[in-house]
């Protein structure tokens, strides 16, 4: 069970893409916490290219990591994962996320909000329900982008409890998933599941990240999490993934072309005919799995190894993830008066967000309490050789 450095690189890539995507959210017509005065549909066909798979690949890799963690931490696994995920989630909701909601209220509340951040934070912590635009009221406290952490904890707990209290059922389920994904089944069954979820559940539940009304997302994300767990140690399955990379890549490119055309053609006042909409939903699901297989296959084929850069980025990525959206919102709002064109302002936001988040990580990793609050491992204490120390003392060193 050697460490999968190729998956570490994929994880870093996916989280970095997430940061860039959220900068892009400032410039599109889709609803977000704050929006640029230059927001428009220009980059939406490009933005949609990562939407089907961006989070799914992270949940799949989390499933793989969970499989190795279960073996490594047979005792206390659930407690350790809860500590690493729930504490950052709670801290994030109470301290990191509130500025996002504050600037959303400042920019979008009818008449604006003028009482300052501390007054807003007090109302945020008391779950004030009165920040409304018509019937659309802000639900506080919010987890915003940290929904991923909440969902990952829930999926981990469900799987961990099943492994503990239903070991036979869990083992058979994982073996069944692994067997079904052998050979060509790897390219068929996940696609059929994702297509069914997109056709049946998405029209009813949409994508809310609200936990209790988000059954479409649970259907896709929990499924790929379980797939990651089931195939984690299957060398034959990973060989099929690597061998399928070109076919999957070609499928992903074709699907991406269709989705970009769809978004640029059918948006706003130009809704798609029902048949075209259904085709779009099928293509969306096919693209999701195609890109995942292509990325994982090429990463395994290239086989990037360990390096100081990878170790640094792997440790930094969770704190950067927790910080990044708040940094983007604060920077974007405060850059508005400058009137910079998106072609200038956008790259500034990307570079400044990464720089400030990495600076934040440099501070976080130096303090034990901050490491705990941002989900980092505790600081390693140097191992003292008692006999050597005693010998030095006797010599008077």
368 backbone dihedrals φ, ψ, rounded to 5°? -60, -45
Percent pLDDT > 90 in the chain is 88
| pTM score | 0.94
Size (the chain), residues? 397
Interval 32-91: pLDDT, tens: 999 999 999 999 999 999 999 999 999 999 999 999 999 887 778 999 999 999 999 999
- Average pLDDT, stretch 319-326? 98
Q: Work out the number of other CB atoms within 10 angstroms of the CB of residue 347.
A: 11
pLDDT per position as a tens digit, 110-152: 988 999 999 999 999 999 999 999 888 999 999 999 999 999 9
Residue 85 vs residues 78, 136, 324: alpha-carbon distances, Å: 11, 30, 17
For residue 393, the model assigns a pLDDT of: 44
Give me the half-sphere count of Cα atoms (radius 13 Å) on the Cβ side of residue 34.
25
For residue 390, pLDDT over 60 is answered with no
Residue 97 has pLDDT above 90, yes or no: yes
pLDDT of residue 75: 79
Q: Is residue 385 pLDDT above 70, yes or no?
A: no
Cis previous bond, 141, omega within 30? yes
Q: Which of 84-93, 176-185, 238-247, 373-382 has the lowest mean pLDDT?
A: 373-382
Distance CA 239, CA 243 (A): 6
Q: According to the model, what pLDDT value does residue 42 have?
A: 94
pLDDT digits (tens, 9 = 90+) for 172-204: 999 999 999 988 999 999 999 999 999 999 999
For 8-44, what is each residue's pLDDT tens digit? 999 999 999 999 999 999 999 999 999 999 999 999 9
| Contact of 194 with 288, CB cutoff 8 Å | yes
**Per-residue model confidence (pLDDT) at position 182:** 87
Lowest mean pLDDT among 109-123, 262-276, 335-349: 262-276
CA torsion through residues 35, 39, 43, 44, sign = positive
Give CA–CA dist 88/14, Å, rounded.
Answer: 20
pLDDT at 386: 47
Quote the pLDDT of residue 9. 97
C-beta separation of 10 from 296 below 8 A: yes
């Amino acid at each position: 069970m050697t460490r999968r450095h190729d998956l570490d690189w994929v994880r870093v890539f996916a989280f970095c893409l997430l940061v860039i995507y959220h900068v892009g959210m400032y410039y599109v017509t889709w609803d977000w916490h704050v929006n640029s005065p230059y927001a428009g549909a220009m980059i939406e066909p490009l933005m949609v290219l990562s939407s089907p798979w961006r989070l799914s690949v992270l949940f799949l890799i989390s499933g793989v990591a969970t499989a190795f963690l279960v073996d490594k931490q047979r005792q206390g696994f659930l407690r350790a994962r809860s500590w690493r995920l729930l504490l950052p989630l709670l801290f994030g909701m109470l301290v990191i996320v509130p500025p996002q909601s504050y600037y959303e209220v400042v920019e979008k509340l009818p008449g604006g909000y003028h009482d300052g951040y501390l007054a807003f934070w007090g109302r945020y912590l008391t779950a004030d329900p009165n920040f409304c635009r018509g019937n659309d009221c802000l639900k506080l406290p919010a987890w915003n982008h940290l929904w991923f952490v909440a969902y990952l904890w829930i999926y981990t707990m469900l799987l961990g409890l099943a492994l503990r209290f239903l070991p036979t059922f869990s083992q058979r389920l994982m073996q069944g998933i692994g067997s079904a994904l052998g050979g060509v089944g790897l390219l068929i069954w996940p696609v059929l599941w994702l297509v069914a979820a997109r056709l049946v559940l998405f029209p009813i539940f949409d994508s809310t990240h609200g936990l209790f009304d988000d059954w479409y997302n649970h259907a896709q994300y929990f499924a790929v999490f379980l797939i990651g767990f089931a195939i984690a140690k299957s060398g034959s399955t990973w060989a099929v993934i690597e061998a399928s990379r070109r076919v999957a890549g070609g499928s992903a490119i074709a699907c991406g072309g269709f989705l970009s055309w769809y978004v640029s053609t059918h948006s706003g006042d130009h809704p798609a005919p029902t048949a075209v909409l259904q085709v779009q939903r099928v293509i969306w699901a096919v693209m999701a799995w195609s890109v995942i297989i292509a990325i994982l296959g090429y990463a395994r084929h290239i086989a990037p190894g360990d390096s100081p850069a990878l170790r640094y980025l792997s440790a930094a990525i969770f704190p950067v993830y927790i910080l990044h959206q708040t940094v983007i919102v604060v920077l974007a709002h405060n850059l508005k008066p400058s009137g910079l064109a998106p072609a200038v302002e956008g790259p500034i936001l990307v570079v400044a967000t990464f720089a400030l988040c990495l600076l934040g990580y440099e501070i976080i990793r130096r303090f034990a309490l901050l490491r705990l609050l941002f989900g980092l491992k505790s600081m390693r204490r140097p191992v003292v050789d008692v006999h050597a120390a005693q010998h030095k003392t006797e010599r008077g060193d």
